[in-house]
Amino acid sequence: MKSRKTNGYLPTSSMRNSEHIEQEIMKTLSSLAGTEQAMPKPFFYARLRARMERELLEPKRVFWWDIKPVYAYSLLLVLVLLNLMTLVRVEKTGDTDKDAYSFYQSTDF
């Protein structure tokens, strides 16, 4: 079996690996000790707050044609009611094709 060499050390046991990982973490953290904290541009938080407030106040758009949700739901309700009315009317009249054919045969056309 060939042993792999990784980053200049041979991983032989989990103890060495965990010690090496801890050393690498400490080395990385110590390299960050001298850096300065990044500061946002002036008025960043004011602009962020204004944008968040604007998004809360604007109505949400439902469809691609930009109608308000109340209108979209109203349109959906009207379409569902029209479909139900059509279904009820068809159920009341029954099979209209047979009725029309029997009426045609009974008359002298």
- Within a domain: residue 45? no
Residue 101 or 6, more confident: 101
| pLDDT tens for each residue of 15-70 | 678 888 998 988 888 887 778 878 888 889 999 999 999 888 877 665 566 677 78
Binned at pLDDT 50, 70 and 90, residue 1 comes out as very low
The DSSP result for 16-83, as a single string, is HHHHHHHHHHHHHHHHTTTPPPP-PPTTHHHHHHHHHHHHHHSPPP-STT---HHHHHHHHHHHHHHH
Containing structural domain, residue 20: 1-34
pTM: 0.32
Residue 54 lies in a domain: no
Number of folded domains that form the chain: 2
